[in-house]
Chain A
Amino acid sequence: MSVDAKTVKRVAHLARIALPEDDVAKMQDEINAMLGFVEQLGEVDVDGVEPMTSVMPMAMKKRADAVTDGGIAPQIVANAPASEDDYFMVPKVVE
């Protein structure tokens, strides 16, 4: 399988990465080189094989549903590019 320029632009948008028009062809080549490389997986017989979901088999750890952390809003927003009164500031989303 290989991707065309339109697909590359769609994927860039899905990934929320602005891709300049003059970079589309090069990115397309690089992605197609990768997709060409992984094509060989088609040779493997995977009938009846379970996909790996846990690297080391273990029971899911659980804990009591209780508040164990918090009250640190100033620390949470300390690295935000824009914040006010312990809120993250974003461009207007709803008119």
Chain B
Amino acid sequence: MTEQAGITIMIRSRLGYFFKEGMASIFSHGFMSFASIIIIMSCLIIMGSFSLLALNMHHIIRTLEKQNQIAVFIDDELSLEEAKALESKVRSTANVANVYFISRDEAMDSFLKQYDDNKLFKDLTSDVFRHRYLVSLEEIELMEQTRDSLIDIEGVAKVRVHLEISRGFVALRNVVSAVSAVLVILLFVVSVFIMSNTIKLTTFHRREEIAIMRMVGATSSFIRWPFVFEGVIMGLMGALLAFLGQWLLYYLASIRMDASTTLSFITLIESGKIVIPMLASFLSVGLLVGVGGSVFAIKNYLKL
């Protein structure tokens, strides 16, 4: 047997041992392990829910940015050609993403289409309408500044914006993001603490074994690994359960949103688009909680 093959066999044998010991420990403290997994799952679901809320707020605001256009009305005295000539100035304004010109004739047609059968407007002429630009923005937060810049353009008579909506959404998004960040950090610490306590219980039950291991010359890492495996297995189990729960919740929320007529302006991110990042995030957090908790728990048993 080559030296390389020998090392490979040893590593496999050790990994098998660590895994076996980790699993055995989980089952020997079945109730505590189960409780830890459930608590980690719950923490992850709460963390996930707030993260998804923040993510969807971003998504909704992005959608609104695309939909929520500013109407830039051109001075009555400007001809069609003069109004069209302003496009370059409008387009070059900071934060302007897209510009669409509507002549007063087109504006009237669009208006009349809304009242097809209304005879009141039969004598309406296009003179009462203004040439206009529909402007979509890069960032909704800068709507007010963009409005001020557009109104300064010579030939622009009026700019119509829905500042209240944009301000409301931005404020809501900021609050949700801040609350989510605080909760995610807090729940992460709680999860690590709970994991650490569960593994501390295991290490307490196995303190004699740990003392024997030290006495026969086991290295600190060899003593630590079975506990890390135990933490990782529990963390990943909690993460997987949380992912399934979160997925179901999100799916149900999406169905409700789609069915709702009052909330029709809210479009959630498609569940298919976030499944992989969500699974990866949950597993990463579960892994971190497992490793962090076990390392904290075993620290005191590794002195000398």
A, B in one complex:
no
Give chain A's interface residues, CB within 8 Å of chain B.
none
Give chain B's interface residues, CB within 8 Å of chain A.
none
